[in-house]
Amino acid sequence: MRNITKAIAIAAMLAFPVASFAQTAPAASTTKQTKAEKTEKSATKHVASKTTSGTVKSISDSQLVITKGSGKSAKDETFAVNASTTKTGTIETGSHVSVHYTTEGSTMTATAVTASAPKAKKSTSKK
C-alpha cells in the first residue's frame, strides 16, 4: 500500500510540471502573433493625410479637378470624390477650394473639400 501511495505521489509530481508547461507554451506563441498583427494593422491604417488648395476646374460626382498656381506654372490635380467626402460651402467651377486628401498609390482621394467665401468685388462706379 505504501509503495502504491509513493508511486501515485511521484506520478502526480511529474505530471504537474508537464501539464503547466503545455498550457503556457501556446499562450506565448499567440502573444507573438498578436504583436505581429498589431504591427501589420498599424502599417496598413497609417495613410498620410495632406492638404492643398486651388481653383476648381471641374467637379462631378466621382472626381474633382483643381488648378494650382497661375500662368505657365499652373498645375492640375485630380481627386477621387466619394460618398464619405465632406463638402462645405458652394463648390462650383471657378471657386477657390481647400482639399484634404489621402494618397494610396497614385490615387488621391478627397476626404474634405471646403469652398472659400468669395472675395468682395471692388466697386468701380463713381458718384
Average pLDDT over residues 28-44: 51
What is the band of 75 on the pLDDT scale with cuts at 50, 70, 90? very high
pTM flag (> 0.85): no
Q: Just give the CATH number of 49-115.
A: 2.40.50.320
Q: Are 79 and 66 in contact (CB under 8 A)?
A: yes
For the chain, give the percent of residues with pLDDT over 70. Answer: 65
Convert 33-53 to b/e letters by CB count within 10 Å (16 or more is b).
eeeeeeeeeeeeeeeeeeeee
DSSP state of 112: E
pLDDT for the residue 109: 94
pLDDT for the residue 43: 47
C-alpha cell recorded at residue 75: 498645375
Helix (H) or strand (E) holding 65: strand 63-68
Listed by start position, the domains of the chain span 49-115
